[in-house]
Every structure is written in structure tokens, then in C-alpha cells.
Amino acid sequence: MILLSPTTRDDSMSDIAFSLTSVGPHLRLLLFLTTFWLLYRVRLLHAVARLLDRLSGDRGSRFLALLRARRAEWEGDWVSAGEIHEELGDCNRAIECYERGSELERCAALCRALGAKEYAAEWLVLAGEHRRAADLFHQASMFDRAAESYLNAGVHLLAASSFVKARDYLRAAEIYFEHGAFLDAGEAFAKAERHEKAAECFERNLVETGDLVSLSLDSLARERAVKSSLRAADLFERAGRPDRAVRVLARGLQHRLAAKVAEGLGDFSVAADLYQRGGDLDKAAEMLARAGDLGAALRLEADSLLARGELRSAAGKFLAAGDPVRAAEIFESVGELLRAAECLAVGECFRHAAELALRAGSLSDAALYLERGGDLRQAADLRWRAGSFAEAASLFARSGLFFEAARSAHASGNERAMVAFLEKVPASDPSFSQARSVLAKVRARKQWLEERPAETMG
């Protein structure tokens, strides 16, 4: 082997050229191959030197790791290859390897570490981790995808909430309604401008709450129920169903508001009932009057006056409304017994009226009420006690007590009536013999009076 130094390079090359032209063909081939081999060895040594330089320090470690990764890929160990690429920071290649190795959750974790939540969520969907995927979609503000993933995970209320955020209100409302969240369903239907359906949801929530009058709800629950009734009523009115608004307001104990709606509909009887339940008796009376029920209107006016302490005026209204007994009770409570008796007489409660008249010291009024009630005997006794003998005689006679009638007629100075009554005393009467005796005396006296003027004249 001939080594060429940098000083002898030109002379040597001329000698070699001369020798090549002077030797035989085999020797020339041998010389050519030897020269080629020398040049190859020099280049190989330089390449090895450069490789050794690269393998020193971190660059060498990285190169070796890449070699291990390539070997793992050739052997089909994609997970190990992915882990090496992940360590080396080649995330895209790592994700490709994890995907080929069916490690989809590792793909998701790597994407999440890079801050790509939407891509991480997609990998979790492929891995069947719908709940975790839904949470990531939600964090990435991809609410429609989050809703679908929540549905696939069976978390329906969270799915409905995500549909609301995605402005798919109708889908959200249907899910809420199906799972009994009627308040949320109502709000979603309202946003979808399905007013009647929204109102029905709020009404359904109110029905589920129960009767607010009978239930001992806490203040917060009662407040929520009242809000449901108000919201339902507003939506029913928007949907053109004020009649249903009236019912739902009444169920929510919003009687006055319900009455106003009913009044606007011209349903005055219902409005009157609602105003009355709401405590506005004057307005209720006005509604009844407009409905044509004047008697009931007067009674309500009377109740209103009674509530304000205007007892006499209230009694007068009750009397005008055709409730004389109630009027009598009020007059009696304030000590006006005769007016109370008059009211009872209007109600044909004659015995009770007579008792009140007696308590007031009016025998004649008491007798009148007893007479109107058909109790002629007691009426006659009261007339006798009051000194109304003529009336007493008539009443005794009408009750078949002719002897007492005769006595009353005598007291009144009506002798002719006395005689007539004495003549009617039946034989079965215990006073029959006395009546005959008195009658005989009266006739004898009459005969004596008739005879005396003749004797005088003779």
C-alpha cells in the first residue's frame, strides 16, 4: 500500500500514471481495486468517526432511543414504541403508535396533556368512555357533543343541561319532561316558544306539589309553588288559554289574580268566587251583581260590612238579600230585639219572634207573631194581658174557647158579643154551667130592664 503525503502528491501521481500505462492489464486491475479499497476505508473511517461523535452525550441517547422505537415498531410492539416516542417528545408519532396498539385512552391523555381537550374527548368516545368524554367536550364548550356523550353515558339531566347551552331547547325540554324535571322542562319549552307545553309543565309541577291549603309546606317550597303558578298562568295567557290561566292561579292560591283574568273573560260567577276566596268581598259582590245574582251580591255586601264592624248596615243587607234569620241574629246581638223579631217574622219564625218581642216587653207584638204562627190561644192570652180585650175575644173565639171569648168581650164592654159567645159554649166545656148561669142572669137583667120602663109608664 502506497501512502501519499501532501508534499509528494504531484510527482507520485505522474509516476503512477506512467506505471499504469506500462504494466499489463491484470496488474492494472489489481492496482485499481487497491486504490478503490483505500479510498473506501478512508471514507468509512470518517463516517464511523462522525457516528461516534453523534453517539456521545444526549444526542447519542436520543439516537439510540429512536433505534429502539424503530425496532419496537418492526416487531409490532406499538405500545412500547409509543412510550419511547412520547418520552422523546414526538407526540404525533406516539399517538399514531398508541392508536395502532388500541391504547385509545393513552391517546386521550396525551391530547389532554397538550391542551387539546376536544381531541382528547374524541379519543375517549372511541374508547367508550362517554362520561369522561362529555366532561371534556363541556370544558371545550362543545355543548352539542357533550350532550350526546352524556346521553350515551346515561346521564340524562346533564345531557339536557348541555342541550340548553347548545340552544337545542326542544330536545332539552323533552329530556327534562321525560325524567320528571318539570320546572326545567317548562323553562326549556318556554325558550323554544312552546308556551302551552311550557305552562303545562309548570302546572304539572304544581300538581306534584299538592294542595297548598292542606299541605304544611315550608316557606321556600310554598314560594316555589307560587312562582310555578304565576309562570304557568303567564304562559297560558301567551298561548291564548286564559281559562287555564284562571285554574292554575287558583291552584296556586293567587285568587285575586285569577279573579281578574276571569273577569276579563266575562265569567263573573267564577270571578266572584275567586274574589271571595281572595278576601275581596266588595269586588265579589260586584261580580255577582253583574252575573245577575242580586241576592248573593247583597249577602256578600253584608259580609263585607260585617267584617268592617258595621253591624246594623250588615243586618239590613242580609234582610234585603232574603236572609232574615241572619239579620235577626245581628240585630239581637246589638240589643235591637224588636227589629230582630221583625226579621224573624219575615222568615216566618213566629215563635222565636214572639219570644224576642216578649223580652223586649211588647205583648201586642208577641201576640201578633203568635197569631201569625197559628198559636191563637197564647196570642189571645197575650192580648188579654195587654188589655186588648176585643182582639183577645176574637182570638179566643177562633180557638174555640167561647167562655174566655165572652169574658174578654165583657171586659171590652161589648155585651152583645158576650152573649153571642156564651151561647156558643159547648156542653163539653167545663165552664158550660157557669156560662149558662151568666147567660141566664144577663137575660133576666135584660128582661128586667125591658119591663121597668113599662111599669113606670103605667
**220-236 confidence digits (pLDDT tens):** 767 777 787 888 888 88
Quick check: is 386 in a domain?
yes
> Given this model, what pLDDT does residue 137 score?
81
Ramachandran quadrant class, 76 (left: phi over 0; alpha: psi -120 to 50; beta: rest): left
DSSP annotation of 154 = T
CB 121 within 8 A of CB 115: no
Residue 92 domain flag: no
Please report which residue ranges of 23-116 form alpha helices under DSSP H: 25-54, 58-75, 78-88, 91-100, 104-113
* Sequence-ordered list of residues with C-beta below 8 angstroms from that of 400, at least 6 positions apart, any chain: none
Task: Specify the pLDDT at position 54.
Answer: 57
- Pick from 373, 405, 433: which residue ends a domain? 373
pLDDT for the residue numbered 5? 30
Q: Are residues 396 and 417 in the same domain?
A: yes
Residue 412 lies in a domain: yes
Which residue among 373, 389, 413 closes a domain? 373
Residues 458 and 380 in one domain: yes
Q: What is the pTM of this model?
A: 0.53
Q: Are residues 439 and 381 in the same domain?
A: yes
For 294-363, the DSSP string reads HHHHHHHHHHHHHHTT-HHHHHHHHHHTT-HHHHHHHHHHTT-HHHHHHHHHHTT-HHHHHHHHHHTT-H
> Residues 383, 367: one domain?
no
Q: Are residue 453 and residue 380 in the same domain, yes or no?
A: yes
Q: Is residue 330 part of a domain?
A: yes
Residue 361 in domain: yes
365 and 411 co-located in one domain: no
CATH number of the domain that residue 453 is part of: 1.25.40
- Give the chain's radius of gyration (CA, Å): 60
Mean pLDDT by 10 residues, the chain (458 residues): 33 45 64 66 54 54 66 68 67 70 71 75 77 81 84 84 87 86 85 86 75 54 77 84 84 82 82 81 78 74 76 76 79 82 81 83 82 81 82 81 79 79 77 74 66 51
Residue 50: the pLDDT is 58
Task: Note the pLDDT of residue 197.
Answer: 87
Residues 340 and 414 in one domain: no
φ/ψ of 330, rounded to 5, equals: -70, -45
Residues 414 and 382 in one domain: yes
Residues 418 and 405 reside in one and the same domain? yes
Q: Are residues 416 and 443 in the same domain?
A: yes
Q: Are 287 and 267 in contact (CB under 8 A)?
A: no
**Structural domain for 343, as ranges:** 323-373
Of the candidates 316, 258, 230, 212, the one whose C-alpha atom is nearest the C-alpha of residue 272 is: 258
Is the domain of 380 the same as that of 444? yes
Domain boundary among 340, 373, 406: 373
Residue 229: closest CA among 194, 197, 202, 260: 202
Is residue 428 a part of any domain in this protein? yes
Asked if residue 123 is part of any domain, the answer here is no
The verdict on residue 229 lying in a domain is no
In degrees to the nearest 10, what's the CA dihedral of 90, 94, 95, 97? 150
**Number of compact structural domains in the chain:** 2
